[in-house]
């Protein structure tokens, strides 16, 4: 099969021929139809310090995908050949304290598809049946391929009730834009999105943001004045990992404000801990998706709201055949895009 592979411990990737993966008794083999590029994949191509400390080549990368089930293991009863499916990219141990308590997204032994084991930038991928999310047969394959990042957005955005709340999202990458659509769907009063890219801020407006702020020209204080807000934002969703964004976010939260942090910083930064304490601001770190409450929530939002479905679909801005993976990676790295997909069909 074709497989986009990290062959050696250094920069670069190669599209090579590899044997098809073997399906074990509790596994499912999926013919990949679509796969989405993630920031993780860019790190692996670049081979930065994180990649060098985490990944052991050779490795097929990629973890956002949708496809058709072509084989199931002898012990699998929950998935059938012919099903269309997405995959949860985190494989958990099932035996640690959190797993046994039903908090599988907090597993201390999590293994990532396309990071710690062969992934989905290939014609076929094998994952445990417990990680397969069977989709309705009529679902657009492109939408099926973005359930992983949509899950990140859903997990982050729905930490607290949003009805009537003023919500600010720092970072208008694909996950931030999807979070804007979720906040609008969930009943927020105002949804404000900040970023340094006008291209991505346009996507956020199309997804339902009431106001967008280009941080090279304005601040969140300007947004508050524009909207006539008096007390600060109630909920903050931090998607950028940028220190100035976090500083501006904390400075503009209401007393008792709640912040969910998904964006991973490139380096350490200082926080205004005095304000966090005296304003009683809640900071909550977010990683991945809840297994599988998040999957149920996003599936129902997609299934029941055409407006929401269209808002998510417009985040997908570029599509490339698998053979043009280098163009796809260059586009994703440019920032002048939303979600970039590889077509493996």
The residues annotated as belonging to the active site are 40, 43
**Which residues have C-beta within 8 Å of that of residue 215, sequence separation ≥ 6?**
194, 195, 196, 244, 245, 248
Q: How many alpha carbons fall within 13 Å on the CB side of residue 232? A: 17
CA distance 39 to 46: 11
Q: How many alpha carbons fall within 13 Å on the CB side of residue 249? A: 31
**Which residues have C-beta within 8 Å of that of residue 334, sequence separation ≥ 6?**
none
CA distance 240 to 260: 12
CA distance 54 to 115: 8
Closest CA to 200 of 238, 168, 171: 171
Give the tokens for residue 245. Answer: 């964004």
| Cβ-based neighbour number of residue 86 at 10 Å | 29
Q: How many alpha carbons fall within 13 Å on the CB side of residue 117? A: 13
Give the tokens for residue 314. Answer: 């417009």
């Amino acid at each position: 099969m074709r497989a986009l592979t990290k062959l050696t411990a250094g920069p670069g990737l190669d599209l090579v021929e590899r044997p098809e993966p073997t399906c074990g008794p509790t596994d499912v083999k999926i013919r990949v139809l679509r796969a989405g590029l993630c920031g993780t994949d860019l790190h692996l191509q670049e081979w930065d310090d994180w990649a060098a400390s985490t990944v052991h080549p050779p490795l097929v990368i990629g973890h956002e995908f949708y496809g058709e089930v072509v084989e199931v293991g002898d012990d699998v009863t929950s998935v059938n050949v012919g099903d269309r499916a997405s995959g949860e990219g985190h494989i958990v141990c099932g035996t640690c304290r959190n797993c046994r308590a039903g908090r599988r997204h907090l597993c201390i032994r999590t293994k990532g598809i396309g990071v710690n084991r062969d992934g989905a930038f290939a014609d076929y991928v094998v994952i445990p049946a417990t990680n397969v999310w069977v989709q309705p047969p009529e679902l657009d394959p492109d939408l099926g391929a973005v359930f992983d990042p949509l899950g990140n957005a859903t997990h982050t955005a729905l930490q607290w009730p949003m009805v009537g709340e003023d919500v600010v999202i720092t970072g208008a990458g694909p996950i931030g834009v999807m979070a804007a659509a979720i906040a609008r769907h969930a009943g927020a009063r105002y949804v404000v999105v900040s970023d340094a890219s006008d291209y991505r801020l346009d996507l956020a407006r199309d997804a339902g943001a009431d106001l967008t702020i280009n941080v090279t020209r304005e601040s969140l204080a300007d947004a508050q004045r524009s909207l006539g807000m008096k007390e600060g934002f109630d909920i903050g969703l931090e998607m950028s990992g940028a220190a100035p964004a976090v500083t501006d976010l904390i400075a503009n939260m209401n007393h008792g404000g709640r912040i969910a942090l998904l964006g991973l910083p490139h380096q350490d930064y200082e926080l205004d801990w005095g304000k966090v304490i005296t304003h009683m601001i809640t900071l909550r770190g977010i990683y991945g998706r809840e297994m599988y409450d998040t999957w149920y929530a996003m599936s129902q939002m997609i299934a029941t709201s055409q407006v929401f479905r269209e808002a998510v679909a417009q985040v997908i801005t570029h599509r490339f055949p698998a053979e043009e993976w280098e163009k796809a990676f260059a586009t994703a790295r440019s920032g002048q895009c939303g979600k970039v997909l590889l077509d493996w069909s």
